[in-house]
Structure 1
Amino acid sequence: MSIAMISGLIILVLLVIMLVAGVPIAIALGISSVCAILPVMDLNVAVLTGAQRIFSGISVFSLLAIPFYILAGNIMNKGGIAVRLINLAKLITGRTPGALAHTNVIANMLFGSISGSGTAAASAMGSIIGPIEKDEGYDPSFSAAVNVATAPTGLLIPPSNVMITFSLVSGGTSVAALFMAGYIPGILWGLACMAVIYFIAKKHGYRAKTKFAAKEAGSIIFQALPCLLMIVIVIGGTIAGVFTATEGAVVAVVYSLILSLIYGSIKLKDIPKLLKDSAEMTGIIIFLIGVSSIMSWVMAFTNIPTLVSSALLSISNSKYVIFFLINIILLVVGTFMDMTPACLIFTPIFLPICSALGMSTIHFGIMMIFNLCIGTITPPVGTTLFVGVKVGGVRLEDVIKQLLPFFAVIIAVLMLVTYIPSLSLWLPSLMGYV
């Protein structure tokens, strides 16, 4: 048995055992990685090198964007921005069948992209739109399913923390290129779900009861414009080269804070708690990134990616079959592992394989993130799923039943994104990144 196989088995077995036992994912990654290198390295050297890898893994300037985007998302979640985006979405959907559910989709796409968090979108939108839908006769389980199914779109539509993480672990892929690449797949996800909503709404007779006067519509647009302007400033500034993705995150914090203070939804006394919550979340993510650097080093040192590549290529020589198998693996992984550790662990394994088969790094990044986004709404660990169920006040089994047609169209869009590279690469190439 080769060293790569021995080390791979050690990582897999120890990681599964510790995760089942409830050991925090970062600790499990660190211990399993150090143990996997012991067959070829002394314990003292392994521990010392591991510690060095943690610090070198987080000593990257671009990682500064993560705490700032987290802080910006927390500010927006409490800053009254969600209500204004919902009103705009209601205006856009008008009186089409299932208008309120369509409103939920558009609001999730807008708020998720601004906040960079599917969980925040599910919580904010579900708590505001859910009661309105119930009053208008919508099935609460259906409303919760719509909210859950579309909350992750904001993780594909930039700015997105997981794209910054992928940029780091993939060896410095352009963050701006990834931002551009996520737009079309994220919008297709939302549109596919809206198609399902339309047919279900027609069947059950869900129709909007609200009609906006011209003056009211103008007021709604005027109030939402400052919120939408943040997307233009942050993404536009990053693409135009006015500032980097990290500096754009700082701009997002300043802009969202000023906007929330003007709206009066955040007081100065609320800022310390926002900073504390953001610091805690940042600490978790940064530590994960640091520890995952140990695993990346161990896998490279023991040639584990080469072993996995050989195993996959032994199944088939067709890149289409290999891409399909990688999708299946990532979908399964996403059901029990959060996005950040999954991205950190599996990018070094699958990226070399896909690159050898001619897939662009940007295309692979979007495919991976799309898969892991699906995992956030899939049991047993789907955080966005459980937040949506809790906010909706419904039973999990009822929501899962309503989610099935949404899963079908989302998987269909995933296949399109996988096998039609231009869906991910057209915008980046238009901007000169490819």
Structure 2
Amino acid sequence: MEGVSGATAGDGEGAATRTGAEVGTGRRRRAPAAPEQVRGGHPEQPEWSAPAPERYGTWQGVQARPQVPGPRREFVEAFGTSGRRKDAGGGQDPRTGQDARTGQDSRAGQAGPEEKHGRATAAPAASATLTVPVAPDVPDGSESTAGPGVPADGGAAGSEKAGSEKGSKGRTFTGIAAAAVTTVLAVVVAGQVADGGGSHDTSRAAGATERETGAGPASRGDNRPEPKAAVVPLTYAKKMSTLYPLDPKLEATGKFSVVPGSAKAPGTGRKYRYRVDIEKGMGLDGMLFAEAVQKTLNDNRSWAHDGAKTFERISSGQPDFVITLASPVTTAKWCEKSGLDTLEENVSCDSAATDRVMINAYRWAQGSETFGDSKIYPYRQMLINHEVGHRLGHNHESCRTPGALAPVMQQQTKSLDIDGIRCRANPWVYPTR
């Protein structure tokens, strides 16, 4: 390490003798900067000009500053172990901010980090030298070699007390120097962000953070609900083709509710007005049942054939009859009022002594063996047509031709084979095939 050329130490009062172009200060002059070279060595070796990415990581949202080449030895040669620049003429007093040689405040007119950030000051180049205010390079217990303008701690310059205090403060200011370097680097990074240089990387880093934490709109975090499949409502035909669970010995509440709504009679024949009731506590769809009654009775294959009759559903006023969907036990009770026994074979009836046409809910929900599960839709149509046929004055009939369609007034729930003549299941009064 080079010494001070052509200069000698002071005479005890801090004076220096000029032997060259400028007066020496008793400080060692900084060696000429070596040409830049690619840094080698262990990745954990610290760089005091800029934090190395391997040690400190990269700043999120901005590009990492390029490394300043050169080993740590150059830092020691330039600053010494105390952190003071050796080529500084008088240095800067860390307490007052005044230049040691001129006595002027070197901080005057400089903008703080906030002001620089507000004016979007461009960041300095990566290779710029950072001047850090540090304490003089004073060995413990020795006299101060600072130049004029640096006030001595506690009074007279060169005293033993001042030397001792400065020795301890030199160590303190060494830590301050490291903190100052970090502060300056933070200002540099803030300048880069204010200059807009890291905008692309910022958005990219933000997107990465959202993916890692699951906070983004396209993420699959634990708190994000899974997409639900669109619920397609069942069609009328699908509902009519579906079996519903029901106990064959069910006894519900015995109380009825009127299915709300109405449906106009579509034809011009004789009009029958009816109401639909459903027993409470069965869990069956009353609206589906009411829709099935209206569509079935007004079908051209039913009693409305060729416009002879038409049927209108009401929910208030006086009906001609009440079509009632009830549990097996309740159905039997109402059929018994007309002298009919439905419990033995769990069937439906027209309770002629009352205004109710009773449809056994078990048969409505589960069908019969004669039709099978695959034909529950036409079986429900047969139930409606058969029991309303009784209300209209028709009695039971039997099939007379083997293999033919059974008459709708045949007791098809019980059997399709009457007197050895087996016929096919049929839901209609006037079938087309």
- Could you tell me the TM-score, scaled by structure 1's length? 0.23
Pick the structure with more strand per residue.
2
Q: Pick the structure with greater CA Rg.
A: 2
Higher relative contact order (CA 8 A, sep 6+): 1
Pick the structure with more helix per residue.
1
- Could you tell me the TM-score, scaled by structure 2's length? 0.23
